[in-house]
Amino acid sequence: MVNSSVQTETEKFTVVLPKALLARLREHVPARQRSRFIVEALEERLALEEQVAALEESAGAWTDQNHPEMFTSVDIDRWLADLRRAWGRTEG
């Protein structure tokens, strides 16, 4: 989401939109808020695209052969319980 308190450099450019989509934008978003709305929508969509790309890039990095301690759902539950117990401990 855009942090409106942070000044960022901007640039104008032309975007061609379908008339029906532009009508929906005009209906739901006041004129003085449309740029911010579009920026936030683009940031959200780009974040999703970046997450998908990262998932695709890392596909196959985890294998059952490399982590036999987490082969079954019982093993995973045990690992999670141990991890959560460790979070409750304080160092000192």
In sequence order, the 6+-apart residues with CB closer than 8 A to the CB of 84 are none
Whole-structure pTM over 0.75, yes or no? no
Task: For residue range 45-60, list pLDDT tens digits in order.
Answer: 999 999 999 999 988 8
Predicted confidence (pLDDT) per residue in 16-51, tens digit: 999 999 999 999 999 999 999 999 999 999 999 999
What is the domain extent for residue 8?
Answer: 1-61
The total number of structural domains in the chain stands at 2
Helix axes 34-58, 19-28, angle to 10 degrees: 120
The shares of helix, strand and coil residues in the chain, as percent rounded to the nearest 5, are 60, 0, 40
Of residues 67 and 24, more confidently modeled = 24
Q: What integer pLDDT is reported at residue 45 of this predicted model?
A: 97
Question: Is the domain of 50 the same as that of 25?
Answer: yes
31 and 71 share a domain?
no
